[in-house]
Structure 1
């Protein structure tokens, strides 16, 4: 799973991010390019168009939902989405909040960006991380600067065996 979240685990409001962090966008692109990405319908619809160089798996309960984009397919459950990536060496669950909750049991790694701020207006949150199930293996701090309003840290967790 890959996500950026505030200290309060906030992800966004009204299907949009609450921050602009160009380096985090670049990291997301670098990590996910060339791979399948699993997301909920609302997350998919928040994009102006499908993200380039990635195959999108859109999870929705709506049996009539359809997309005409060639690099997209529909799954009607998280289990169905996971089945579509089972042969892949690497794939990513990219949100939103409910998809993260459903997907955590299938994940073996968390690539998180922790933003050092809280966002009281948020309406979507990342699930609480069970520290007994995950081990922090890497962290990289980035201070705020002219392009980044907030300090943030990249955190990599791997599932305990």
Structure 2
């Protein structure tokens, strides 16, 4: 199963200047628990914003930049290659960003794991619109901000309505 996982603010805000817009340790913990021991597919800019390979996951990075190299990751030049490699490693894998990768994979994903961060943010990168004719919310768990998490947030799971 191809799952897109993302944290998005109001108006589908994802990030600005290749950085996250909020500090939300609960989301990072959730992300780790969901993606650990599965391949993760990301764009080069997302990898660079993380700064290292994510442990206990096969990190597949899509990059068109020639002679670009990083340790402990698999680098491919196309998204099609990335999806092929991920599927060979494990039928269940995650698309973890960024904005362009999300746009290009929304049509092939079967599930969305969304952290909806309750706040308005100045963003330059956005998650694609989640069309209610295509996606059905199947689970939601909401939490109020606390001393560690600066915003109210909800973990949401969506399933594609018409499986291909």
- Please report the TM-score for the alignment, with normalisation by the length of structure 1: 0.94
Deviating runs (4+, > 6 A) in structure 1?
none
Residues 62-86 of structure 1, C-alpha deviations (whole Å, 9 max, x = no match): 243222x23x111212111111122
Structure 1: 5+ residue stretches without partners:
none
C-alpha distance in 1, partners of 2:52/2:86?
Answer: 22
Partner residue in 2 for 1:56:
59
Q: Secondary structure of the residue that 2:158 maps to in structure 1? A: strand
- Please report the TM-score for the alignment, with normalisation by the length of structure 2: 0.92
Structure 2: 5+ residue stretches without partners:
none
Partner residue in 2 for 1:135:
136
In the TM superposition, 1:135-154 aligns within 5 A as 135-154=136-155
- Find out whether 1:96 has 2:98 as its counterpart: yes
- How far 1:146 sits from its partner (Å)? 1.3
Q: Secondary structure of the residue that 1:86 maps to in structure 2? A: helix
Q: Secondary structure of the residue that 1:8 maps to in structure 2? A: helix
- How far 1:129 sits from its partner (Å)? 0.9
Root-mean-square deviation (CA, aligned residues, Å) is: 1.1
- How far 1:30 sits from its partner (Å)? 0.4
Partner residue in 2 for 1:122:
123
- Find out whether 1:40 has 2:43 as its counterpart: yes
Instruction: Report the number of matched residues.
Output: 158
C-alpha distance in 2, partners of 1:148/1:59?
Answer: 31
Which of residues 100, 107, 110 is equivalent to 1:108?
110
Q: Secondary structure of the residue that 2:102 maps to in structure 1? A: helix
